[in-house]
Amino acid sequence: MLPQTLSDAYGRRFKYLRLSVTDVCNFSCSYCLPDGYQCHDADHVNLNTSEIKNLLSAFAALGTEKVRLTGGEPSVRKDLSNIINIAAKTNGIKTVALTTNGYKLKENIQQWHDAGLNALNISMDSLDARLFKTITGHDRLDKILEGIEIALDLGIKVKANAVLLKGINAHQLPLFLDWVKHRPVSFRFIELMQTGDNEDYFKAHHLSGDKVRQWLLKQGWTLQPRNETAGPADEYRSEHHQGRIGLITPYGKDFCSSCNRLRVSSAGNLHLCLFAENGHNLRHLLQQPEQQQQLQNLLQSLLTSKEATHYLQQGYTGSTYNLSMLGG
Ligand code: SAM
Ligand code: SF4
């Protein structure tokens, strides 16, 4: 029998799952958790490894080929290597990726690699140590850069992310281009998104991704074709640079038409969109492998209610008060 693929009413196919393994984070990025992590739900319990195993098996049976582990900060979980290994061993999963602030990268990358990690996204909103500390609250840039070199030596596919922040890091964009000149890293610029918690910050610091696109094109960077499990970035290359530049523009026209990803929170709720009003509880079907078929049926039926777009342009942020709660 041919493997099935999750799809929605708009003909979009979903082979990519972003799984948040915790909503806790140890950083206090100014656009995400300016006051650090605050517990909103004292009863919150993260999915355990057995629930994660059952979840991933069901998604993989429905065509999921790529899993990105995210958070909060996923590396605050002591069993992260175990989770990576579970994902890597799931039949049908070809890529196991991790999004991290890099805090434990240098110490743990070998272990994550051995567990089966093949792709890594590291958030680095500045390549200037002082500004990095101002944005994240942590003086860790040097250690993170050392960790990246180890990851590259291990042959892991590395991407870095910076959120575009008008008046904060936007003047340093040329430094990111220089950094990928001789490194096989794709650097992604993410347009700042408005969430429930950051309205004033958003108004002060949002920089249009289209402006950055024009700037890149002017300097000879050219748009590359994307594949079916690629993330949301438009990727650009330049013949003078070994690395690439990615641009993630959620406010851009037609951003949602190529959506290929679904999200599950660390409490086991399916979010059909980063900015959906509600999550759909899957946890009751994650307790036994025998519940697989029921879980697959539920996923397929929930997909029919996925909306065409996120309505971010209208200032709508759903139930997402910050991205730490679901992973971006
Ligand atoms: N803690 C990990 C990290 O920072 O990489 C994983 C979770 S974090 C929520 C995932 C990504 O979302 C990071 O690249 C972060 O910079 C980005 N992010 C957080 N809040 C954002 C916002 N309001 N707009 C755009 N990107 C945001
Ligand atoms: Fe933590 Fe990531 Fe949010 Fe920064 S962006 S506060 S590292 S969850």
Decide whether any atom of ligand 1 lies within 6 Å of the 71 Cβ: yes
Cα separation, 70 vs 73, in Å, equals 7
Stated as kind and residue range, the H or E segment containing 18 is strand 16-20
Contact in structure between 55 and 62 (CB atoms under 8 Å): no
The domain spans of the chain are 16-325
Distance 97 CA to ligand 2 centre (A): 17
Tokens read off for 159: 């991407």
Distance 35 CA to ligand 2 centre (A): 11
The whole model's pTM is what?
0.95
Decide whether any atom of ligand 2 lies within 6 Å of the 32 Cβ: yes
The ligand whose atoms approach the alpha carbon of 125 most closely is 1
Distance 198 CA to ligand 2 centre (A): 13
Q: Which atom of ligand 2 is nearest to the CA of 99?
A: 2
Going by C-alpha positions, the residue among 230, 290, 299 that lies closest to residue 268 is: 299
Q: What per-residue confidence (pLDDT) applies to 2?
A: 47
Residues of the chain predicted below pLDDT 50: 1-2
Which residue's alpha carbon is at the smallest distance from atom 12 of ligand 1?
328
Q: C-alpha angle 180/183/188, rounded to 5°?
A: 45
Report the half-sphere exposure of 36 (CA within 13 A, side-chain side): 3
Q: What per-residue confidence (pLDDT) applies to 3?
A: 54
CATH of 16-325, one of 3.40.47.10, 3.20.20.70, 3.30.420.280, 3.40.50.740: 3.20.20.70
Q: What is the SS3 assignment for 231?
A: coil
Q: What is the DSSP string of 258-295?
A: G--EEEE-TTSEEESSTT-S--EE-GGGSS-GGGHHHH
Decide whether any atom of ligand 2 lies within 6 Å of the 327 Cβ: no
Summarised one tens digit per residue, pLDDT across range 81-129 is 999 999 999 999 999 999 999 999 999 999 999 999 999 999 999 999 9
The amino acid sitting at 159 is K
The ligand whose atoms approach the alpha carbon of 193 most closely is 1
Q: What is Dmax (Cα atoms) for the chain? A: 56
Q: Which atom of ligand 1 is nearest to the CA of 162?
A: 16
Q: How many residues does the chain have?
A: 328
Cα separation, 9 vs 280, in Å, equals 18
Summarised one tens digit per residue, pLDDT across range 180-226 is 999 999 999 999 999 988 999 999 999 999 999 999 999 999 999 98
Cα separation, 285 vs 140, in Å, equals 40
